[in-house]
Amino acid sequence: MKTLSVRIDEKEDKELDSIAKKMKTDKSNVARRAIA
């Protein structure tokens, strides 16, 4: 699996964190699903 680094602002980070908690997963999984 390849690695991709992205910069996100504080608002986007909080949104990812909120979604991850609701889905009971981590932010990386949320981001991967979003770009898949």
Mean pLDDT of all residues in the chain? 96
Q: Which residues contact 30 (CB under 8 A, 6 or more apart)?
A: 16, 19, 20, 23
Instruction: Give residue 24's domain range.
Output: 9-36
Q: Where are the alpha helices (DSSP H) in the chain?
A: 10-23, 27-35
Residue 1 is assigned to a structural domain of this protein: no
Predicted pLDDT at 1: 85
Residue 19 is assigned to a structural domain of this protein: yes
Residue 13 is assigned to a structural domain of this protein: yes
Query: Across residues 28-33, what is the average pLDDT?
Result: 96
Asked whether the whole model's pTM tops 0.75, one would answer: yes
CA angle 24, 28, 2 (to 5 degrees): 145
Residue 22 is assigned to a structural domain of this protein: yes
Could you give the CA distance from residue 5 to residue 23 in angstroms, rounded to a whole number? 22
pLDDT of 27 over the 90 cut: yes
Q: Provide the domain count of the chain.
A: 1
Residue 3 is assigned to a structural domain of this protein: no
Residue 4 is assigned to a structural domain of this protein: no
Residue 28 is assigned to a structural domain of this protein: yes
